[in-house]
Chains A and B, each alone.
Chain A
């Protein structure tokens, strides 16, 4: 077993956020922090869904409250397409209720981060997701 020698499988991430103020610094931060990860960004659910269909990213970070299609609607649709997708939801505190409701409805959100976003927490959950995804991908490669 030569785990280490295996090259890191390509991992992609979709970021959906309607607030430009939040989206811009997040893009800067995520590209510098995770240079190996392919990053796709959208500012509403509909565009996000289209991007997902096009690139099939492994991880989706999304806001909930967005025009056109909100984060939860988009989540449901994506999960229907690719059940194993990891979801990190970034939410305003005011919508916690909505979030909990969605958890109850088994949207299977993996993590959620409350604004204002703390980078340590965000990085931790992203890394957790990356590990899971990488592990899965390696297993799949070994199985091949």
Chain B
């Protein structure tokens, strides 16, 4: 029978609640009224006694700790008061102290409710009390029991039912406490288990992640190691390329590659072997690192063990040869001991080529087994490719330099030749100048010979006439006059030559006919002496703006050339014909001779410098060349030669 079901039996009964705490009081009132009890509240013992005396409640529920009068005292007074003692009293107590129980018994309380209480327990107790009230009260034949507890004397006057109720209550409270404890223990146990489970799970997870991490770290270490190797090789490659870019000598380059392979690449030994095509031996061209390993090393392409090693294999196959376990490989048997001594555990030999032809190998040795993985091999190949390119370039460079050297030598020789030619030219010009001077002196001699002779005769005639007694003033005057005439003539001749040799300071206008006449005046004696007849025909009177003496020089050279031709060929009745005219606003002078003309073979050479037909005594080979230079380069004109009926004709156009 539940407490709720029993409500109806006692509904409407009065219950007095004694509680100094209003909230506790209200809580009790709320629960009790919910169960249809009528509730009165007193806030202390005295008020409670007054209400009990007046209203005679069916049940009193009292708190214990209260000011003025506590629950025990109140209970004691109720039980001591006639007419009230049958009203059951329930004390609200914690029942945790045996003293509470004893004091409760001592005060005659009918029942106890331990705090904190639950509604069901409270109501069950209340209803029990109300029902028991109806039971026949057993006579209190119990004289009272004196109890010593905790040095205090208590007199228990409660009846057996009361004690039993109290004990049951205590027991119930204990059970309730116990079950609460068990529940709490169970809960705690559950929580503990959960916690342990979670700890276990987390530990497992942690262990797992630690393992993963460990594996990752291992992997990372491996990768880092590989990366380090690759980085080192990259550094080597980079340094190699730097060397390639900066070194222009093959031996130096090889040395540098070996050095950076060891110092940057971390290899124990690096060496470059070049194949001697004649003997088949592989010779060390450069090495760095533990080079002692190479001392006395015999590597060749021969068919014996010395030709089966990594280097020879690479050279023979023309491809990279990797030996990742140097000390156990059969191909390296002849070098196991030595390699062991030097700590060499793995090797790579990559071929070097010149213009596609294998010329040797780059050999790298590492101190670890299985050092060369595919990435390393790729980089090594790249490095070898770069080196091959450099070798090709250097070879080209060497060839180019040789060619350059040859060219330089040739150029030097040519320069020397040109220099020699220039010296010769200089000499020739000097000679030609001297020749021209000689010619001029000859001309002067010719010009002067006759007047000098005449002067001599005139002077001597004076003495002769005096001796012959034929001397008189008239004869003397005639002699002096003749002499002065001759002297003036000679003086003029000198002036002509001096003018002729004076270089032109600046350009000027001059009459062609006058220039021709002046030129002829210089040489007429000489030409006359050689019985050359000179005819001058001036059809026009053209004027040239330019260097007069240069023009005269050009003309003189042509005239001399004609004279030489006439003399050399011993032409009978030698003649020259000079014509002066204007054609298309140009002054034209032609000089024609009857010396037989210029042979066709030399026609296109006559204006070349140093070309002469006259032999070293007479000709310098510069006369006509100078004339052409003067007329064409200096005066912007034209000088050409052609053959006419019985001789040659030179034509000057300016």
Task: Determine how close the nearest CB of chain B comes to the CB of A127; give it in whole angstroms.
Answer: 14
Contacts of A70 in B (CB 8 A): 531
A18-35 Cβ-contact flags toward B at 8 Å (1 or 0):
010110111011001100
Q: Are A117 and B529 in contact (CB under 8 A)?
A: no
Contacts of B457 in A (CB 8 A): 22, 25-26, 29, 116-117, 119
Q: Are A119 and B452 in contact (CB under 8 A)?
A: no
Q: Could you tell me the distance between the alpha carbons of A66 and B450 in the complex, rounded to whole angstroms?
A: 13
Q: Could you tell me the distance between the alpha carbons of A85 and B118 in the complex, rounded to whole angstroms?
A: 199
Contacts of A28 in B (CB 8 A): 461
Q: Are B456 and A65 in contact (CB under 8 A)?
A: no
Within 8 A of B (CB), among A112-129: 115-119
B460 at the interface (CB under 8 A from A): yes
Q: Are B454 and A22 in contact (CB under 8 A)?
A: yes
Q: Are A29 and B464 in contact (CB under 8 A)?
A: yes
Q: Are A29 and B461 in contact (CB under 8 A)?
A: yes
Task: Determine how close the nearest CB of chain B comes to the CB of A69; give it in whole angstroms.
Answer: 10
Given A32-B470, A65-B531, residue A25 in contact with residue B458 (CB < 8 A): yes
Specify the chain A residue showing the minimal Cβ separation from B489.
A21
Given A21-B486, A65-B529, A119-B460, residue A32 in contact with residue B452 (CB < 8 A): no
B202 at the interface (CB under 8 A from A): no
SS of B interface (majority): helix
Task: Determine how close the nearest CB of chain B comes to the CB of A2; give it in whole angstroms.
Answer: 29
Task: Determine how close the nearest CB of chain B comes to the CB of A62; give it in whole angstroms.
Answer: 15
Within 8 A of A (CB), among B203-236: none
Q: Are B454 and A21 in contact (CB under 8 A)?
A: yes
Q: Are A116 and B456 in contact (CB under 8 A)?
A: yes
- Which of the listed residues B455, B457, B465 has the most CB atoms from chain A within 10 Å of its own CB? B457
Q: Could you tell me the distance between the alpha carbons of A26 and B529 in the complex, rounded to whole angstroms?
A: 20
Q: Are A119 and B464 in contact (CB under 8 A)?
A: yes
Q: Are B486 and A117 in contact (CB under 8 A)?
A: no
Given A32-B464, A32-B465, A32-B468, residue A67 in contact with residue B531 (CB < 8 A): yes
Contacts of B465 in A (CB 8 A): 32
A92 at the interface (CB under 8 A from B): yes
Within 8 A of B (CB), among A6-24: 19, 21-22, 24
Given A21-B486, A65-B531, A92-B449, residue A33 in contact with residue B454 (CB < 8 A): no
Task: Determine how close the nearest CB of chain A comes to the CB of B474; give it in whole angstroms.
Answer: 12
Specify the chain A residue showing the minimal Cβ separation from B485.
A21
- Which of the listed residues A21, A22, A29, A70 has the most CB atoms from chain B within 10 Å of its own CB? A21
Q: Could you tell me the distance between the alpha carbons of A68 and B11 in the complex, rounded to whole angstroms?
A: 198
A94 at the interface (CB under 8 A from B): yes
Q: Are A25 and B461 in contact (CB under 8 A)?
A: yes
B238 at the interface (CB under 8 A from A): no
Contacts of B453 in A (CB 8 A): 19, 21-22, 115-117
A56-81 Cβ-contact flags toward B at 8 Å (1 or 0):
00000000011100100000000000
Within 8 A of A (CB), among B456-502: 456-458, 460-461, 464-465, 468, 470, 482, 486
Task: Determine how close the nearest CB of chain A comes to the CB of B462; give it in whole angstroms.
Answer: 10
SS of A interface (majority): helix
Q: Could you tell me the distance between the alpha carbons of A65 and B446 in the complex, rounded to whole angstroms?
A: 12
Q: Are A118 and B460 in contact (CB under 8 A)?
A: yes
Specify the chain A residue showing the minimal Cβ separation from B479.
A25
Query: Interface size of A by Cβ–Cβ distance < 8 Å?
Result: 22
B445 at the interface (CB under 8 A from A): yes
Q: Are A115 and B470 in contact (CB under 8 A)?
A: no
Query: Interface size of B by Cβ–Cβ distance < 8 Å?
Result: 23
- Select which of B442, B452, B482 is within 8 A of A25 by beta carbon: B482
Task: Determine how close the nearest CB of chain A comes to the CB of B515; give it in whole angstroms.
Answer: 27
B451 at the interface (CB under 8 A from A): yes
Given A32-B468, A65-B531, residue A117 in contact with residue B461 (CB < 8 A): no
Contacts of B468 in A (CB 8 A): 32-33
Q: Could you tell me the distance between the alpha carbons of A24 and B451 in the complex, rounded to whole angstroms?
A: 12
Task: Determine how close the nearest CB of chain A comes to the CB of B65; give it in whole angstroms.
Answer: 178
Contacts of A19 in B (CB 8 A): 450, 453-454
B19-42 Cβ-contact flags toward A at 8 Å (1 or 0):
000000000000000000000000
Task: Determine how close the nearest CB of chain B comes to the CB of A68; give it in whole angstroms.
Answer: 9
Contacts of B456 in A (CB 8 A): 116-118
Q: Could you tell me the distance between the alpha carbons of A19 and B454 in the complex, rounded to whole angstroms?
A: 9
Contacts of A94 in B (CB 8 A): 442, 445-446, 449, 529
Contacts of A32 in B (CB 8 A): 464-465, 468, 470
Q: Could you tell me the distance between the alpha carbons of A21 and B452 in the complex, rounded to whole angstroms?
A: 9
Q: Could you tell me the distance between the alpha carbons of A116 and B607 in the complex, rounded to whole angstroms?
A: 41
Q: Are A22 and B450 in contact (CB under 8 A)?
A: yes
Q: Could you tell me the distance between the alpha carbons of A2 and B445 in the complex, rounded to whole angstroms?
A: 52
Task: Determine how close the nearest CB of chain A comes to the CB of B113; give it in whole angstroms.
Answer: 181
Q: Could you tell me the distance between the alpha carbons of A26 and B457 in the complex, rounded to whole angstroms?
A: 7
Contacts of A117 in B (CB 8 A): 453, 456-457
Task: Determine how close the nearest CB of chain B comes to the CB of A82; give it in whole angstroms.
Answer: 26
Task: Determine how close the nearest CB of chain A comes to the CB of B63; give it in whole angstroms.
Answer: 180
Contacts of A26 in B (CB 8 A): 457
Contacts of B454 in A (CB 8 A): 19, 21-22, 24-25
Specify the chain A residue showing the minimal Cβ separation from B442.
A94
- Interface set of A (CB-CB < 8 Å, partner B): 19, 21-22, 24-26, 28-29, 32-33, 65-67, 70, 92-94, 115-119
4 closest residue pairs by CB, A with B: A116-B456, A21-B454, A25-B457, A116-B453
With A29-B460, A116-B449 already in contact, 10 other A-B pairs whose C-beta atoms are closer than 8 Å: A19-B453, A22-B457, A28-B461, A33-B468, A66-B531, A92-B449, A92-B529, A94-B449, A117-B457, A119-B464
* A/B interface sample: 23 pairs, CB < 8 A: A19-B454, A22-B453, A22-B454, A25-B458, A25-B482, A26-B457, A28-B461, A32-B465, A33-B464, A33-B468, A65-B531, A66-B531, A67-B531, A70-B531, A92-B529, A94-B445, A94-B446, A115-B450, A116-B453, A116-B456, A116-B457, A117-B453, A119-B464
